[in-house]
């Protein structure tokens, strides 16, 4: 997908070297972009207020003393509770 985006942005031919096309287009490698996004998400979670409900979903590192109740755990199911 990143290759197609680089070709579309620069207007280069499909036979052009992809590393150079991505650099010209200003696209960073996917794994570095994912690391940046994960770091931003951790920073946002760390700046939530102590009583924010998302702290209970995120895990033990973010609880700051609050524990999720049984009713809360039964209402919120699926991959949201398994986000860690």
Q: Is the pTM of this model over 0.75?
A: no
Vertex 65, ends 57 and 61: CA angle to 5°?
A: 50
Question: Average pLDDT for residues 12-27, to the nearest whole number?
Answer: 80
Domain ranges of the chain: 1-47, 49-84
Comparing 35 with 71, the larger pLDDT belongs to 35
Q: What is the mean pLDDT of the chain?
A: 77
C-beta separation of 48 from 37 below 8 A:
no
């Amino acid at each position: 997908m990143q290759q197609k985006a680089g070709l579309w942005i620069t207007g280069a031919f499909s036979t052009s070297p992809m590393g150079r096309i991505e650099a010209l287009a200003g696209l960073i490698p996917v794994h570095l972009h994912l690391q940046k996004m994960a770091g931003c998400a951790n920073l946002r979670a760390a700046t939530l207020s102590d009583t924010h409900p998302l702290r209970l979903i995120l895990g033990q590192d973010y609880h700051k003393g609050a524990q999720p109740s049984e009713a809360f755990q039964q209402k919120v199911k699926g991959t949201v509770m398994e986000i860690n």
